[in-house]
Amino acid sequence: MNLNNLSAKKICRLVSAGMVLSMLVITSILGSIMQDIRIFIAGGTLTLCAFFWIWLLVLSFGKRLSHFTSDLCRTLDNMIDGNEELQKSDDSETLFARINHRLIRLYEIMQENRRKVDMERQELQILVSDISHQVKTPVSNLKMVTDTLLTKPVSEEERMDFLKGIRSQTDKLDFLFQALVKTSRLETGAIRLEKKNSSLFHTLAQAMSGIVYAAEKKEIAVSVDCPEDLTISHDSKWTSEALFNLLDNAVKYTPSGGKISVSVVQWEMYVEVKVTDTGKGIPESNQASIFRRFYREEEVHEQQGVGIGLYLAREIVTRQGGYIKVVSEPGQGSEFSIMLPIR
């Protein structure tokens, strides 16, 4: 007989029958040896009592086992069907309740992982769509210019204009790819921000060096108010990148002869870096959207850029435990504030 093929109920019945039979055999042997009818009576009585209680135990165990398997199958069926809410057992002491609790926990983890995968898939689709949209225009312009140069005779002056246009479009593509690489490396964890106690003045100076030429070209007055001895815990390289993106936007959207001021205010828990300009301003309805990846307002499409600078700046600041806020009115300029924790 192969016990592996028997059900739990049959095994219990076989064990019970074996115990009763063993008691009957022992009683018969003792009765034969002692030649006393009382031994047969006592042994028979004990055997009947044992049979009754064993039968009751097997019956109870069978019902509990049947209830356990049906509940377990129902829980597994709900998991397979993808039901959001699984039935929880009221009795936390039973074996099924403990197994059911672990199954529900496993199912919740699986559901959470599934939601994360779906969200990442949606983000990837949006990213591919955004990249396609951003690349489409400069690639189309490059194809049009090169086709013109290859098929039509042009003057030297026209040829130089076309070449400048090609350079402008390739610069835009290069800027887009660099911004995407930085964003991707941050989001995937390929680069981890390392906060160290360092001079905020030095970080700000690095950011300022990237916009000095563009500001002078537009005759924009830039003022800076930052204590030279101020030291906070931050990633100098990436914080400088975030500040540069804010300053670069300020230069782009501030008209010639305008003003940009940078000031640093130290609060109890945070250090605030304000970048204020006298540019065109941002309508309140658009202020929640400007930090989205590849977002650009319709009226600024003539300006160079791909709409990823503010998104990247917010990612850098957020990953250091800080945040960015903006106050702006159309025609009154904008004020961006980076809030960085002191520790």
- Look at residues 66, 87, 108 and tell me which one is the last residue of a structural domain: 87
φ/ψ bin of 305: left (φ > 0), alpha (ψ from -120 to 50), beta (otherwise): left
Residues 73 and 202 in one domain: no
d(Cα 186, Cα 311) in Å, to the nearest integer? Answer: 12
Supply the range of the domain harboring residue 157.
126-187
Q: Within a domain: residue 116?
A: no
Same-domain pairing of 151 and 173: yes
- What end-to-end distance do the CA atoms of the chain give, in Å? 72
pLDDT at 58 over 80: no
Are 206 and 326 contained in the same domain? yes
> 126 near 109, Cβ under 8 Å?
no
* CATH (domain of 264): 3.30.565.10
pTM of whole model > 0.75?
no
As a whole number of angstroms, the distance between CA 259 and CA 276 comes to 8
Residue 76 counted as domain residue: yes
Whether residues 71 and 139 fall in one domain:
no
| Per-residue tokens: 30 | 């003792």
Query: 170, 187, 204: which is the final residue of a domain?
Result: 187
Q: What is the CA angle 192-197-201, rounded to 5?
A: 105
Q: What is the arithmetic mean of pLDDT over 6-30?
A: 65
Question: Per-residue pLDDT tens for 260-316?
Answer: 999 999 988 899 999 999 988 888 888 888 888 766 665 555 555 556 788 888 988
- Pair (229, 177) in one structural domain: no
- Into how many domains does the chain fold? 3
Domain boundary among 39, 66, 87: 87
Give the span between the Cα atoms of 223 and 151, in whole angstroms: 51
**Does the pLDDT of residue 337 top 80, yes or no?**
yes
Q: Is residue 106 situated within a structural domain?
A: no
What tens digit of pLDDT does each residue of 127-179 get?
A: 677 677 667 777 888 888 888 888 888 788 888 888 888 887 787 788 777 77
Residue 3 has pLDDT above 70, yes or no: no
Is 169 in the same domain as 263?
no
Extended strands (E) in 126-257: 196-199, 221-225, 231-234
Same domain as 154, residue 39:
no
> Do 166 and 296 belong together in one domain?
no
